[in-house]
Structure 1
Amino acid sequence: MKHFEANFDGLVGPTHNYAGLSFGNVASYSNAAQASNPKAAAKQGLAKAKALADLGMVQGVLAPQERPDLYSLRRMGFSGSDAEVLTQAAKQAPMLLNACCSASSMWTANAATVSPSADTRNGKVHFTPANLVDKLHRSIEPTTTGNILKATFSDEKHFQHHQHLPEHASFGDEGAANHTRLCSDYGHAGVELFVYGQQAMNPNAPKPKKFPARQTLEASQAVARLHQLDDESCVFMQQNPDVIDQGVFHNDVISVGNQNVLFYHEQAFVDTAAKFDEIRRKMNTDVHFVKVATEQVSIQDAVKSYLFNTQIITLPNGEMAIIAPTDCEENPAVHAYLNELVTLGTPIKQVRYYDVKQSMQNGGGPACLRLRVAMNEHEVAAVNQNTLMNDALFTRLNTWVDKHYRDTLTVADLADPQLIIESRTALDELTQVLKLGSVYQFQK
Structure 2
Amino acid sequence: MPPGILTIAADKATLSPANTGFMLICSALVMIMTPGLAFFYGGMVRVKSVLNMLMMSFISLGIVTILWVLYGFGLAFGKDNGGVIGWDSTFAGMGHIGLTQLWGTTTIPVYVFAVFQLMFAVITPALISGALADRVKFTAWALFIALWVTVVYFPVAHWVWADGGWLFKLGVIDFAGGTAVHINAGAAALGVILVVGKRIGFKKDPMRPHSLPLVMLGAGLLWFGWFGFNAGSWLNNDDGVAAVAFVNTQVATAAAMLGWLAYEKLRHGSFTTLGAASGAVAGLVAITPACGAVSPLGAIAIGVIAGVVCAMAVGLKYKFGYDDSLDVVGVHLVGGVIGSLLIGVFATGGVQSDAKGLLYGGGFAQLGKQSVGVVCVLLYSLVVSYVLAKAIDLVMGFRVGEDEEIAGVDQAAHAETAYDFAGAGGGTAARKTTALGETPTKKVDA
**With structure 1 as the length reference, what TM-score do the two structures score?**
0.30
Considering only CA atoms, is the larger Rg found in Structure 1 or Structure 2?
2
In terms of fraction of residues, the more strand-rich structure is 1
Higher helix share: 2
